[in-house]
Amino acid sequence: MAEDRAPITRVLIIGAGIAGIQAALDIANSGYEVVLVEKEPSIGGRMLQLSETFPTLDCAQCILTPRTVEAGHHERIRLMTFSEVIAITGEIGHFTATVQRKPASVNWDVCTGCGLCQEKCPTKVASPFDRAMGKRKAIYTLSPQAVPNKPVIDREACTWFTRGKCRLCEKVCPVHAIDYEQQATTTQVEVGAVIIATGYTLYGLENLGEYGYGKIPDVVDGLAFERLLSASGPTAGKVRRPSDGKEPKQVVFIQCAGSRAPETAMPYCSKICCMYTAKHAMLYKHRVHDGTAYVFYIDVRAAGKRYEEFYHRATEEDRVIYVRGKVARVFRDGDQVVVWGSDTLSGASVEVAADMVVLAPAMVPHPETQRLAEMLGIPANEYGFLLPLDDNILPVETTRPGVFLAGAVTSPKDIPETVAQASAAAAKVLSLFAQWSGVPQAMETPVGAEAS
Amino acid sequence: MKRIGVFICHCGINIAGTVDVKRVAEALKDYPGVVLATDYMYMCSDPGQSLIRQSIKEQNLEGVVVAACSPAMHEVTFRKASAQAGLNPYQTEIANIREQVSWVHQDDKEAATRKAIEHIKTIVEKVKYNESLIPLSLSLVKKALVIGGGIAGLQAAIDIATAGYPVVLVERSDRLGGHVGKLSGVYVNFNAARDLLESKLQAVQENPRIKVFLETEVEELGGYVGNFTAKLKHRGDNGGEPTFSEHTFGAVIVATGHSLRPLSKFGEYGGGRYPNVIDALTFERMLAPDGPTGGEIRRPSDGQVPRQVVFVQCAGSRDPEHHMPYCSKICCMYTAKQAALYRQRVPDGQAYVFYIDIRSQGRDYEEFVQSAMTEHDVLYVRGKVARLYEEDGKVIAWGADTLTGKPVEVQADLAVLATAVMPAEGAVELAQRLRIATDEHGFFSEAHPKLRPVESLTAGIFLAGTAQAPKDIPETVAQASAAAAKVLSLFSQRELVAEPTIAYVDEELCSGCGLCIPACPYQARAMHPWKHKAIVNEALCQGCGACVVACPNKACKLRNLTPSHVLAMMDAYLAEV
């Protein structure tokens, strides 16, 4: 390290979910520059896919979009979306990261985000953002409130790329922003510190044959159910089952699908499922008054402020039926989905003929996180969650000075905990930057002298 | 008349798909005062903003109405754009025709279009009356007060001081460390709590910017963000009179921790009368090498090593009828740890854990509880202990196993209660002195449960640790650093800038009746010492308007939302389209 170079008071934040956004805002609002890298075309992460949030049932978009907008317009935050960090070298004070931007096939400098291309595009594909509960066009943004609100072309779906036909978006674009020739670009950014906030993804439920996921259309995962509940989702908030669009009258929610299962999947608890399942069942009952909701659980884990009370509300006010037991099999019978399980409280076996089944899959780290960890030399546990320096007293610090962790990248956690951790990581960065820039050094006088 | 420009946003198809934006522009064109009404695909985009800037200059606009999405989204954007073109930003207002019109009236385009027109007209009327305002600037003392010297307070103080700012840390007791200082080892790695704490204590002691006051409490807190004045009460020596000191701070972190529900509240478990029924913190002391037994497990009645120990979880938690309705969050984990440590130290002893649900949520927590069951042979019984009583020197635990449906009776030598986590003693009184809110149990209320977990609703006062809700050490430490981040953010400003759209008093009309003073929820009102007129503390006022409603003489007004504004807006809204 060249000692003569002053350390750089700029931070790289990898991942622009709620953790990355919160850390970015805390640091940028303290006067330092932030480079915020996100692999999706727009920021917001998982939280933007949620309908309402426990335990207050605040609409996720309503509370998050002011933050995405603030991050998007912040003069000290440089957004690099549709991009990934492919290399990172250097050390605290002087990291160099290579950021690769995927080709959007749209010139974002020119695009006004008018949305005409998306309106006219004739190709529809299942939307990953909607967990395949709805469709999107081949040229798309993740949502109408996307930040930045600029589209990208899905080259695997677009007929120009697959079959050499169409170019309709090019014709309708009033500012000639479509660029089918666009290439991936790489940029180098120089930063003094790094925050990794790459979040989580969901365990592949196809691996668990007993639930019929991937084979039975009306067996969906919790995130797909979020999209069905979301007012801005594919069904405008109406609960419709995928197979025939009917309103399901009997819904079975199965917790710990792949969690707490050391023999078959993940041994750990995914922490958030008990609460979001209680919320799912509750919101389902709010929308389908004559419906019945069953929840299969091992333990109800409602540990958090007003969480226990929320769970009580689900069982008492909304009459959600909780069955303590594991599900042995889910299979199709006519247009119904039959759930076989056991009630460990009565010892009896249980069979529910349901219209729809919602699984709460285990949270797992993004596979790309492993690569990042290797580049930076940060240890991960056997499942790929990154390890902080000390779980108890150094929860956001890592073995690599200048590199910090925030959110679900270290272990499953819910939004408030993620937000607190993101601000904690920001505090560590702010502390470093303050020392490097010497801003408050005028305050050398010991405090409290005036007290005596 | 003021020259006003109206800019109608399509928001792609979000607005234009429901509202006929061309017709709206046409309808506004000839409205009195409007010199320009135009529409554009995305007003918030760069070309949209430059259209506004250009029009302000070319048309000499004195007011701007942007008909678009909620002001929560883009008010700042458009006011900034106006300022760039030389227009006072408070002459720019948003008419929300997305959330309040197009999104809620998708089925009736005609009515939505009419409503959008009415909506914009009311905002045009408002802008006609708007004054040019300048944001208020408030001075900022870059020094923090941290209340509570547990792990949360220590961590917050370290983070703020490391960044270079002075901190005063006050602790009510005669030592730092709080509850962590009393623990044996921590889950899930059994590391000695004392060692973990020592590193933090050392960092505090070595930092010249942290001044610690032990045996000190906050007697009074006045002022507001950036300029709090605190009166600290220091306990007198040898029972003498307390002394007081006064300080100014820019920010306050409240980290007063928790207490435990006392055994006397548990009639069903003997109410504290049985020596061999103890709470978990007492058991921690027994396990701790620096504890009264030097780490040996001895039952209080006769000092014998207990051969059968019953651990009772949820003692006072999750029990809305008799105790606290909430979950105390940490008990499942420390009970597993205590039972495992007991089994390590008393290999021929038997440990029973009565539980409702096992809540082991955290990295390696689930595995930790599993190992307590399998490796340490702790016997978990799902069920609540209904009663504990003493008989022939034994503690009898009476309960039901909800898995078998059968009653269970355990004759134990010692019972350990995982008593409910409660707010620290005096938390509610402290909250009143600090003017922050608590929930019905006395835990301090955060500004928003999801996105603002460490801020109180009072600007400049932040929360950390179990004072806000039960939580374990990792979460507490993260929250403490998060609270420190908020303070560092605040202190990074040169001065504080506040919105000028707040209340003022028309002295000609004020009769000095004082009704506005109790009406103000922010303590921003006072009586002038000799003029006998109400005055507004501009730093505290949030512009809520409660004083406007309370004032019988119409002497209280909000800047840019005066009765003249409101009446003109009403007239415009009620007029025929």
Domains of chain B: 4-133 (3.40.50), 144-257+424-491 (3.50.50.60), 263-416 (3.50.50.60), 499-559 (3.30.70.20)
Q: Which of residues 208-237 of B touch A (CB under 8 A)?
A: 208-211, 213, 232
Do A259 and A312 have their domain in common?
Answer: yes
Cβ-based neighbour number of residue A443 at 10 Å: 15
Do A113 and A142 have their domain in common?
Answer: yes
> Which of B42, B329, B491 faces A113 most closely, judged by CB atoms?
B42
Do A83 and A122 have their domain in common?
Answer: no
The DSSP call for residue B87 is -
- pLDDT, residue B44, reads 85
- pLDDT, residue A2, reads 46
Domain end marker among A363, A392, A422: A363
Question: Does residue A444 lie within any of the structural domains?
Answer: no
Crossing angle of helices A60-73 and A18-28, rounded to 10°: 40
Do A172 and A279 have their domain in common?
Answer: no
For residue A171, the enclosing domain spans: 106-183
Mean pLDDT, chain B, whole residue set? 95
Crossing angle of helices B473-491 and A18-28, rounded to 10°: 40
- pLDDT, residue A368, reads 87
This prediction has a pTM of 0.90
C-alpha–C-alpha distance, residues A301 and A293, integer Å: 18
Q: Distance of alpha carbon B47 from its chain centroid, rounded?
A: 39
Domain end marker among A135, A152, A183: A183
Q: Which residue's entry shows tokens 């050390």?
A: A91
Question: Does residue A5 lie within any of the structural domains?
Answer: no
Distance from CA of B445 to the nearest CA of A (A): 10
Q: Exposed (0-12), middle (13-18) or buried (19+): which is B207, by Cβ within 10 Å?
A: middle
Chain A residue numbers touching B320 (CB-CB < 8 A): 312
Do A172 and A215 have their domain in common?
Answer: no
Do A302 and A238 have their domain in common?
Answer: yes
- pLDDT, residue A439, reads 59
Q: Is B550 left (phi over 0), alpha (psi -120 to 50) or beta?
A: alpha
Chain A residue numbers touching B364 (CB-CB < 8 A): 268, 391
Question: Does residue A2 lie within any of the structural domains?
Answer: no
pLDDT at B412 > cutoff 50: yes
Chain B residue numbers touching A385 (CB-CB < 8 A): 363
Chain B residue numbers touching A430 (CB-CB < 8 A): 163, 485, 488-489, 492
Strand ranges for A325-402 from DSSP E:
327-333, 336-342, 349-354, 356-361, 363-365
Closest CA to A429 of A5, A1, A35, A73: A35
Secondary structure, 3-state, B334-389: HHHHHHHHHHHHCCCCEEEEEECCCCCCCCCHHHHHHHHHHCCCCEEEECCEEEEE
Distance from CA of A412 to the nearest CA of B (A): 7
Do A266 and A152 have their domain in common?
Answer: no
Q: Exposed (0-12), middle (13-18) or buried (19+): which is B172, by Cβ within 10 Å?
A: buried
Query: B56-65: per-residue pLDDT in tens?
Result: 999 999 999 9
C-alpha–C-alpha distance, residues B80 and B71, integer Å: 13
Domain end marker among A363, A383, A411: A363
Do A338 and A387 have their domain in common?
Answer: no
Q: Is B239 left (phi over 0), alpha (psi -120 to 50) or beta?
A: left
**Intervals of chain A under pLDDT 70:** 1-4, 439-452
Question: Does residue A128 lie within any of the structural domains?
Answer: yes
Question: Does residue A450 lie within any of the structural domains?
Answer: no
> Any alpha helices (H) in A406-450, and if so which ranges?
415-437
Do A118 and A192 have their domain in common?
Answer: no
**Inter-chain residue contact B366 with A269, CB threshold 8 Å:** yes
Secondary structure, 3-state, B429-440: HHHHHHCCCECC
Beta strand A94-101 pairing with A83-91: antiparallel
C-alpha–C-alpha distance, residues A73 and A48, integer Å: 18
Q: Which of residues 42-101 of B touch A (CB under 8 A)?
A: 42, 45-48, 72-74, 76-77
Strand ranges for A261-326 from DSSP E:
292-297, 321-324
- pLDDT, residue B47, reads 80
C-alpha–C-alpha distance, residues A321 and A77, integer Å: 47
β-strand partners of A352: A339
Question: What percent of the residues of chain B are helix, what percent strand, and what percent coil, each to the nearest 5?
Answer: 30, 25, 40
* Amino acid sitting at position B122: T
Q: Which residue's entry shows tokens 């990261």?
A: A97
- Pairs of residues, one from chain A and one from chain B, whose beta carbons lie less than 8 Å apart: 244
Question: Does residue A74 lie within any of the structural domains?
Answer: yes
Question: Does residue A446 lie within any of the structural domains?
Answer: no
- pLDDT, residue A3, reads 54
**Inter-chain residue contact A303 with B186, CB threshold 8 Å:** no
Q: Which of residues 449-488 of B touch A (CB under 8 A)?
A: 449-454, 468-470, 473-475, 477-486, 488
- pLDDT, residue B576, reads 67
- pLDDT, residue B72, reads 80
Cβ-based neighbour number of residue B352 at 10 Å: 21
- pLDDT, residue A232, reads 83
> Which of A22, A299, A385 faces B359 most closely, judged by CB atoms?
A299
Share of chain B above pLDDT 90, in %: 91
Number of domains composing chain A: 3
Cβ-based neighbour number of residue B435 at 10 Å: 17
β-strand partners of B463: B254
Report yes or no: A386 and A407 within 8 Å, Cβ to Cβ. Answer: no
Do A219 and A357 have their domain in common?
Answer: yes
Query: B513-571: per-residue pLDDT in tens?
Result: 999 999 998 889 999 999 999 999 998 898 999 999 999 999 999 999 999 999 999 99
pLDDT band for position B141 (cuts 50, 70, 90): very high
* Amino acid sitting at position B157: A
Given CB atoms, is B290 within the 8 Å cutoff of chain A? no
Q: Distance of alpha carbon A357 from its chain centroid, rounded?
A: 22
**Inter-chain residue contact B164 with A303, CB threshold 8 Å:** no
Query: A66-95: per-residue pLDDT in tens?
Result: 899 899 989 999 999 999 999 999 999 999
Do A356 and A375 have their domain in common?
Answer: no
| Residues contacting residue A122 through CB under 8 Å, at least 6 positions apart | A159, A166, A168
Do A136 and A59 have their domain in common?
Answer: no
Question: Does residue A448 lie within any of the structural domains?
Answer: no
CATH code where residue A75 lies = 3.50.50.60
Residue range B395-424: mean pLDDT, rounded: 96
